[in-house]
Amino acid sequence: MHISTPSCILRTWSVSDAPSLSIHANNPDIARWMRDGFPSPYSRDDADRFIAMAQNEQIAILLAIEVDGEAVGGIGIHPLSDVYRRTAEIGYWLSQKYQGRGIVTDAVRACVPVVFATTDIIRIQAGVFHTNLSSMRVLEKCGFEHEAVHTKAIWKHGQFLNEHLYVLFRDRYESRKEPNARTLN
């Protein structure tokens, strides 16, 4: 998959991304906003393992965020299962060096129409730590609505955090149609 946005390219992960991934992801200020499955420190072996998993993924959409010719972040949309099977979860991260440029906003805006056009998902959601105001702003700019606060739902670095749940519904999205990206296969 290859998606062009105004600020970045979203594309399938490649083995050649491992050096860049291990550099940009190896930052405790990135890991503090991520679930514990995101290693910190982030080694070359971690990058190799992630890329191998991403390349073999059959259900989720896992894409590198490319800027200036290198992978500097990632975005993923994971369909949920069982009674949540018409819901997907979106998550993303970006190297500190590239933050504040609208790159993640462009990436989210580009992935949403792909999910709604190619799946039967009717709801995309994101859980955000209450301390991650930047991520909340990204979702709000992309049309996500604040749905709930899950109090003390997260245990991270020895403290409880509240989780803010944001959601975007297919019908509301389709009623406003904001295309801003091209998908090339």
Domains and CATH numbers, the chain: 2-184 (3.40.630.30)
Q: What is the pLDDT of residue 120?
A: 95
Q: What is the pLDDT of residue 177?
A: 63
Band (176; pLDDT cuts 50, 70, 90): confident
> 45-83, pLDDT tens digit by residue?
999 999 999 999 988 999 999 999 999 999 999 999 999
Range 78-83, long-range pairs (CB < 8 A, 24+ positions) = 79/119, 79/121
CA distances in angstroms from 85 to 56, 92, 121, listed in the order given: 21, 21, 8
| Amino acid at the residue 157 | H
- Which pTM does this prediction carry? 0.91
**How far from chain centre, in Å, is Cα 54?**
13
> 135-151, pLDDT tens digit by residue?
999 999 999 999 999 99
Q: What is the pLDDT of residue 58?
A: 87
Q: What is the pLDDT of residue 45?
A: 97
